Amino acid sequence: MTSTAPDLSTELAVMKAAERFKHLHGVFGPRVVATTSFGLQAAVSLHLIHYHAPEIPVVFIDTGYLFPETYQYIDELMEKWPVDLRTYTPQLTAARQETIYGKLWEQGKEGNEKYALINKIEPMNRALKELGADVWISGLRRSQSSTRLNRPFAEQQNKTLKVYPILDWADAQVYAYMAQHNIPRHPLADSYVTMGDWHSTSPAEQGVEAESTRYGGEKYECGLHEQSNQSDFQI
């Protein structure tokens, strides 16, 4: 039985992605959930879950600030692979937030941190508590940004064990898998290299790294995967 995050990382390192999903469900059962952003490459993990571990609930944090095309993409993917999707929203609607706080994403570091807390971190903590989960599967990959280069396959964040089954996949492997399995592309895939809320995601420009297209180039992580966020994700 896996006992620590380093032990689990060692086990997962020698497996293929499909085996990792099966293994995680087999070891942790109802204690495990996955998340999806329905971003540019999120369909890969959804496809793997649908075919190899369909019992795993998939949490989707709907901030209310996604691109219209993302919501269209959600409908398209859910029709193809109806995973056990659990949608969570912030306790304050977008309109209510802006009435109280203004446009937080325009208020520098402090505003962005409050935005992340309201729209990402609190709903995710609530999802973990309500679903009784302490193991969280994410589609994080090392090649996505410099902030993810040194991630292990599993890491402990307070009471939550975070696991990344496709961590070692390069972009080329992702695109090859999507082509092989006829996975639909996000409608904005030709214009964007990353995908998030409409106000914090910019179209790609030639020669500009993906990290520069999020939050005006100030940061890449939305708050859910910042390694310094050690006060979050407790159940």
Q: How far apart are CA 188 and CA 109, in angstroms?
A: 27
Instruction: Select which of 66, 83, 135, 222 is catalytic.
Output: 222
Q: For this structure, is 222 an active site residue?
A: yes
Q: How far apart are CA 120 and CA 232, in angstroms?
A: 11
Cα–Cα nearest to 163, from 133, 187, 194: 133
Q: Which ranges of 103-209 would DSSP assign to H, the alpha helix?
A: 108-116, 122-131, 171-180
191, amino acid identity: S
Q: How far apart are CA 223 and CA 229, in angstroms?
A: 7
Whether 50 and 59 have beta carbons less than 8 Å apart is answered as: no
Instruction: State both tokens at 39.
Output: 């971003």
Cα–Cα nearest to 15, from 168, 139, 151: 168
Q: List 154's β-bridge partners, or say none.
A: 163
Q: Please, how many CA atoms are within 13 Å of residue 156, restricted to the half-sphere of its CB?
A: 9
The angle, 0 to 180 degrees and rounded to 10, between the axes of the packed helices 42-52 and 17-28 is 60
Q: Please, how many CA atoms are within 13 Å of residue 188, restricted to the half-sphere of its CB?
A: 23
Give catalytic residues, as residue numbers. Answer: 222
